[in-house]
Structure 1
Amino acid sequence: MNKGSRKEMNVIGIDVSKAKLDCAWLDENNKLKAKVFPNALTGWSSLVEWSLKHTGLSISGLHFVMEATGVCHGQLAVYLYDKGANVSVVNPAQVKFYAQSLGVRSKNDKKDSVVLARYGLHEKPKRWQPEALEIGTLKALVARLDSLEKDLQRERNRREKAEISQAPPAILASLAQIIGTLDAERQQLEKLIEEHLNNHELLKQNKALLESIPGVGKVIATRMLMVIGSRPFDSASQCAAYLGLVPVQHESGSSVRGRAKLSKAGKPGHPHPRQTVHGGGGGDHLQSRHQAQYLRLTGNGKSKMSALGAAMRKLVQICFGVLKHQQPYQPQVAN
């Protein structure tokens, strides 16, 4: 095998689970070499040693491909990146479609790692890089705040039911105490988020730029900072796709079935991305902010959800543009 062809055989597919890593590398004869490692520091080190041995390449010549799997893949990706390897963290939906194109219907860990290796070789996915530490911290703080707000709403709903059913005073007192504790913790987290943004000049500056957009307050601004700062989007349309705001139409042959719906495929690593642009307001603020567009689209037969999706995409485009050009929002003047 010549040196040029060998460089093409440097992709290791990794199917990541909580306890183990199923890894696959294909040699020049398409012969599979596979091994399972524990998903722990010792396993990561052994994976690198195994990869170097079988490929005969330096660490910078290795390309590891894994799916975005919530929290399981993150530390491994950082470890491999810090070692000097090339890493790709890919969208599970795209890998699924690729597997189907290969005729792979059943699913198991070994097959998944082989599919990932083939995907890396043939599709050449973009190289991944870790997000900035301040963005990771912001994401963790916001995730905790979102969790607390859900718990707080659940307890408030329980209190409402208890009041309607005339529950004993001890029950109402217990609910009041829990609600008070959760609300105090929510306020503390909001303060921590504000302090974190103010302590990082670029985050502070970008938040001010986003809040120059009419109707964008601290909730949406904070979440857009988190999303746009978490990965190197090439365009606003990529960001909108990541947030699941791209409409898709179900087609079969020459027929089109039903109304277009918002895509659910483009949101790896983010639990509830559309909440970013909803901002907890149920979408009503978006309707009023882009009322003319909303009315025009619904008047042309678009569903309310499609029109709302268009308003959200428009907002993402504006936010992306403001941060890209580092200029406050300037309304377009109609000719």
Structure 2
Amino acid sequence: MKNLKYSVGIDVSMKDFACCISVINDEQDVKVKATHKFANIESGFGALLEWVKRHKKEDLPLIYTMEATGVYHEQLAWFLHHKGNSVSILLPNKAKKHLQADGIRSKNDKIDARGLAKVGAEKKLEQWTPPSMELYTLRYYTRQHQSLNEFYTATANQLHSIEHSQFKNKDIIKQLKSSLKLYEKHMKELEKLIAQLIQSDPILNRHYKNICAIKGLGLLSFAVIAAETNGFILFDNAASLVKYAGYDVIENESGKHTGRTKISKKGNSRIRRILHMPALCAVRDDQPQFQKLFERVYERTRIKMKGYVAVQKKLLVMMYYLWKKEEKYDPAFKKEVAPALPGATHDELLNEALIKQQN
């Protein structure tokens, strides 16, 4: 039996990270070579490389696999990437499902690291590509803007409730109004920073002008999509992008049973959230390809939100192709920008299955 590949699974927490190095042979047997725990600081990163070097006896491919745990994995991922290593970052739910499929019910750092090492050994995972500094900064701006917007909405609802109650408290009302003004001020400041960043970067500015020729898409929606997709660099096709955003379809049929078909929502909710208003505008502003798509879906389903979600998906896919081809949107172009997805004969078949989403 010949060994084929080494895999290092890493379970990261705030203070430390547990590691497991495994090797897979040509019969697909995964053997654990060693496990260890390191401090989640730069000296721990260097110690990890030395530890791997001691246990990697053969000149075989090596991949580091870790979960996306908030921000705690980022420094280690950047360190490994800059050292020329192959790094793959999984969503936590994917790693969890793999462990469950292997019949593992217990959970601790060591078990999780072993599970990640096995995933990396058995599967051909996509390599992680870090975003550029501009996109990284843009992501901070857009996510902070969303947080402030959510605070603003919650505070406005609280203010509305107090103002319409039987007993009003002037001090609390004054505080809430002051908070609303502060949130609004900070959001405007962030919008200026986002605009300055996009205008100062030639590549981002060119894509912005090309894509935002679509009525309904604006500076903020463009910024969120660009930041959350890392400039579409990780996507080889539109189908993978649709899945990443949670617009992929889940069917529920078995024998005579026919359940409800729905979108998975197992993806980036920030993308679905930001495309809600652009979809409404795209239909309202009399843009034929969006309006006709909405009308076709609504005519069959009699549910408006199904039509709007179909338009959201279409907007996202159109942005992808405009970005990749570096073309400006032409409203007179009547053909589908994106080809049919696998398993569908036409774009409408997928759109018809989309249901009302929660923002």
* Amino acid in structure 2 at the alignment position of 1:12: V
2:347 counterpart residue number: none
* Amino acid in structure 2 at the alignment position of 1:273: I
**Offset of 1:295 from its aligned partner?**
2.5
* Amino acid in structure 1 at the alignment position of 2:138: L
1:130/1:152 CA distance change after superposition, 3 Å: same
1:178/1:255 CA distance change after superposition, 3 Å: same
- Residue-by-residue CA offset, 1:90-140 (whole Å, 9 max, x unaligned): 233333333333333443322221121111111120111211110000000
Range with greater deviation from structure 2 (148-157 or 221-230): 221-230
CA contact (8 A) 1:206 1:225 kept: no
**Offset of 1:171 from its aligned partner?**
2.8
- Residue-by-residue CA offset, 1:227-279 (whole Å, 9 max, x unaligned): 3335421112211111111121234x425453212113334xxx633113224
* Amino acid in structure 2 at the alignment position of 1:50: W
1:98/1:249 CA distance change after superposition, 3 Å: same
- Residue-by-residue CA offset, 1:289-316 (whole Å, 9 max, x unaligned): 6332222223223754543332211111
Range with greater deviation from structure 2 (170-179 or 204-213): 170-179
2:355 counterpart residue number: none
CA contact (8 A) 1:14 1:64 kept: yes
1:80/1:256 CA distance change after superposition, 3 Å: farther
2:311 counterpart residue number: 311
* Amino acid in structure 2 at the alignment position of 1:313: K
**Offset of 1:146 from its aligned partner?**
1.0
**Offset of 1:86 from its aligned partner?**
1.0
1:145 counterpart residue number: 145
Distance 1:159 1:51 in 2: 57
* Amino acid in structure 2 at the alignment position of 1:213: I
1:189-200 to 2 correspondence within 5 Å? 189-200=190-201
1:228 counterpart residue number: 229
1:256/1:81 CA distance change after superposition, 3 Å: farther
Consecutive unaligned residues in structure 1, runs of 5 or more: none
Distance 2:46 2:68 in 1: 21
User: What's the secondary structure of 1:88's corresponding residue?
Assistant: strand
- Residue-by-residue CA offset, 1:131-159 (whole Å, 9 max, x unaligned): 11100000001111111111122222222
1:121/1:177 CA distance change after superposition, 3 Å: same
- Aligned residues, how many? 323
Range with greater deviation from structure 2 (38-47 or 235-244): 38-47
- Residue-by-residue CA offset, 1:186-228 (whole Å, 9 max, x unaligned): 1111111111111111111111111111322222222222233
1:30 counterpart residue number: 31
2:131 counterpart residue number: 131
1:185-264 to 2 correspondence within 5 Å? 185-230=186-231, 231-251=233-253, 253-264=254-265
2:343 counterpart residue number: none
Range with greater deviation from structure 2 (176-185 or 303-312): 303-312
Distance 2:238 2:23 in 1: 39
CA contact (8 A) 1:213 1:328 kept: no
CA contact (8 A) 1:11 1:64 kept: yes
Range with greater deviation from structure 2 (151-160 or 168-177): 168-177
* Amino acid in structure 1 at the alignment position of 2:235: F
User: What's the secondary structure of 2:235's corresponding residue?
Assistant: coil
Distance 1:233 1:157 in 2: 39
Consecutive unaligned residues in structure 2, runs of 5 or more: 25-29, 336-359
Matched, 1:272 2:273: no
CA contact (8 A) 2:250 2:262 kept: yes
User: What's the secondary structure of 1:36's corresponding residue?
Assistant: strand
1:266-305 to 2 correspondence within 5 Å? 266-267=267-268, 272-279=270-277, 284-285=280-281, 287-288=283-284, 290-301=290-301, 303-305=303-305
**Offset of 1:85 from its aligned partner?**
1.2
Distance 2:108 2:308 in 1: 39
* Amino acid in structure 2 at the alignment position of 1:193: I
- Residue-by-residue CA offset, 1:162-194 (whole Å, 9 max, x unaligned): 222352433332222222222111111111111
1:95-174 to 2 correspondence within 5 Å? 95-165=95-165, 167-174=168-175
1:105/1:170 CA distance change after superposition, 3 Å: closer
* Amino acid in structure 2 at the alignment position of 1:308: Y
Matched, 1:85 2:110: no
TM-score w.r.t. the length of structure 2 is 0.81
User: What's the secondary structure of 1:78's corresponding residue?
Assistant: helix
1:94/1:31 CA distance change after superposition, 3 Å: closer
Distance 1:291 1:16 in 2: 47
1:302/1:47 CA distance change after superposition, 3 Å: farther
Q: What RMSD in Å do the two structures reach over aligned CA positions?
A: 2.5
User: What's the secondary structure of 1:111's corresponding residue?
Assistant: helix
User: What's the secondary structure of 1:130's corresponding residue?
Assistant: coil
- Residue-by-residue CA offset, 1:41-98 (whole Å, 9 max, x unaligned): 222221111111111468x953101122222221111011111211111233333333
1:54 counterpart residue number: 55
